[in-house]
Structure 1
């Protein structure tokens, strides 16, 4: 009898352990391309580049069911450069996302490191309106004209339950400036956005604010809206953004006026079409922004165009061929980050 009880206990323990392990998933992406790039005032370069279609990464995620529709989960995700194995962000074990989550019929909350609403990074971004996302080169994608929010530490996130195909997401970052000073002296991020998704119609609108306390600068406001509509083999994208007193410019560049200034103010638009052909999808996107440096009223404009053909070899492996061109005028006419062209051929594999 005791042997039977012992055997039953071991089997039960093994079953519980197997069930727990089944809720933990290891996943990732490895993405590499051969690219030719040319920036103004620089020689053309041929190189192996990384993370063009999707940033190379590995991650661990899991959930535990608490009953009554409630669960607790986590996401730990690190970015890396596939050609060298180097971490994408030095000094961080999980640079892309590090989140503890709780979910239920009431919605979900998350705490940790994550991308902002307009970041196009991670679980809670709701940026729409672009066919060529931030992983593609900035001489053709939306980041070449939009001011996109970054990944941030100390995030608190709430996402509502879905109602009428719509969710609302609110974000707050408690202290971008660091933990070694008073809360009131830190930079803080605030964001709220609405996301609609039904069949082939997707749309979002969001408002974000950085108070820039640590930078001793004016508050930054970002208002971004965009969406996409499918019609069979055709898809159309469009987006608009207004950035006021931003300390960041497109292409993730710091505002040229310095940390104590009022930054830049700009309007930006993007539009794209996509067509499914020969088993893959061809996409073409145009982007435009015009703005000014607030401190000295220096004006600039940026335009870019990019095209790509994406072909799935399987459910997890994709080939892509991309080309992009970007040009800026007036204040930014000599800036190589906005005056460039790129062509590349790559492969992306997920696991």
Structure 2
């Protein structure tokens, strides 16, 4: 009630009428210390905001229209508690800016929000104890394929039918829809969620056509000529520092073959960025009272890009007056990327990775909790040398969250 009155006072002071609306101000502040080390990297100690739960403040409002209909909104802005920076530069409400109508037909809304497999009010992802947070254990970490928050969204959810709800989401442009329709980067999502008694489950299919934000396809004229390639790559000197003439170097069949392979890869990579990607997520949770076992699966496919399967087993449990979380997952498949991780590793072939994590949240009060986490990741085959804690390395976190 107090938060509602404060929000009402803010609205009134700004000259905005809110009549019969119920307006609430809320927020979360989380801060902690993260100790991490990636393979071949340095030990790092960082003060981090929102490692387990993003720091944010927001305003929600609902107005009853009568006859079972109501209109509501969500305005939510993320920020970094350690330096006060806004979540996304230039966006006043980067986490969510959403207007919706609810009634007997279900719920329809539009604005900026998270994908069905991500977070925010329209998300339905289930089956993973750490959700979309907790660093390397996040279901949306670097080894996974997920869609995040998007602009220009239209979202519809059906009423519940014996615990089942249907969900459809479309983005007319993930970051912009000012170009002609065929040049915008579109998102398409459809999902089903079941929640009744002790069971919670979801099945989600999502795709992005990768048009507007993709790297434009290169032509042969966009590439370095063989002579430019020779000079840019420092091939005009041998290993002893002696000068090499281009005319001599270019006559070597091996050198010519190397250049042609490079050019072919450059063209293929540019074209690959424009190929659509498809992702399926399935999750299942069964509440047994003091603990909830979970299963999650993801399949991702992009022609000549990433094609992976990811399996996760996890659980939450009531332990020592708080909530414990444990999870392990395994990823395998194929990947093709020009740059992966901090050391510019190029990947083209079979990949695999596994991650384990454990977390604990202990409430000091209804609004304040202490949080801890430890996670470890190890990868093999083409991901073996990637210098990123999501692939290879460890993280330890200790922090505090306060909500209002």
Quickly name the TM-score band, shorter chain normalised.
Answer: 0.7 to 0.9
TM-score w.r.t. length of structure 2: 0.75
Once residues 240 and 319 of structure 1 are traced to their aligned partners in structure 2, the CA distance between those partners, rounded to angstroms, is 30
Mark the runs of 5 or more structure 2 residues left unpaired by the alignment: 1-15, 215-272, 338-346
Matched, 1:346 2:403: no
Matched, 1:292 2:334: yes
3-state DSSP class of the match of 1:85?
coil
3-state DSSP class of the match of 1:147?
coil
Q: Is the 8 A contact 2:158 2:165 kept in 1?
A: yes
Summarize deviations over 1:154-198 as a string: whole Å, max 9, x none. 000001111111111100000226234211111110101001111
Offset at residue 143 of structure 1 (A): 2.5
Q: Which structure shows the higher strand fraction?
A: 1
Once residues 336 and 46 of structure 2 are traced to their aligned partners in structure 1, the CA distance between those partners, rounded to angstroms, is 38
Q: Is the 8 A contact 2:56 2:78 kept in 1?
A: yes
Cα distance change of structure 1 residues 63 and 22 upon mapping to structure 2, 3 Å threshold: closer
Matched, 1:228 2:285: yes
Once residues 20 and 76 of structure 2 are traced to their aligned partners in structure 1, the CA distance between those partners, rounded to angstroms, is 18
3-state DSSP class of the match of 2:31?
strand
Matched, 1:316 2:316: no
In the alignment, which of 125, 128, 131 is matched to residue 126 of structure 2? 128
Once residues 18 and 115 of structure 2 are traced to their aligned partners in structure 1, the CA distance between those partners, rounded to angstroms, is 33
Residue 269 of structure 1 corresponds to which residue in structure 2? 311
Once residues 144 and 56 of structure 2 are traced to their aligned partners in structure 1, the CA distance between those partners, rounded to angstroms, is 24
Q: Is the 8 A contact 2:20 2:63 kept in 1?
A: no
TM-score w.r.t. length of structure 1: 0.86
Summarize deviations over 1:67-113 as a string: whole Å, max 9, x none. 11111111110110001110111111110000111111111111110
Q: Is the 8 A contact 1:317 1:349 kept in 2?
A: yes
Residue 326 of structure 1 corresponds to which residue in structure 2? 377
Aligned length: 319
Cα distance change of structure 1 residues 68 and 21 upon mapping to structure 2, 3 Å threshold: closer
Q: Is the 8 A contact 2:152 2:176 kept in 1?
A: no
Q: Which runs of 4+ in 1 moved over 6 A?
A: none
How do 1:141-290 and structure 2 match up within 5 A? 141-144=138-141, 145-176=143-174, 178-214=176-212, 215=214, 217-245=274-302, 262-290=304-332
Q: Which structure shows the higher helix fraction?
A: 2
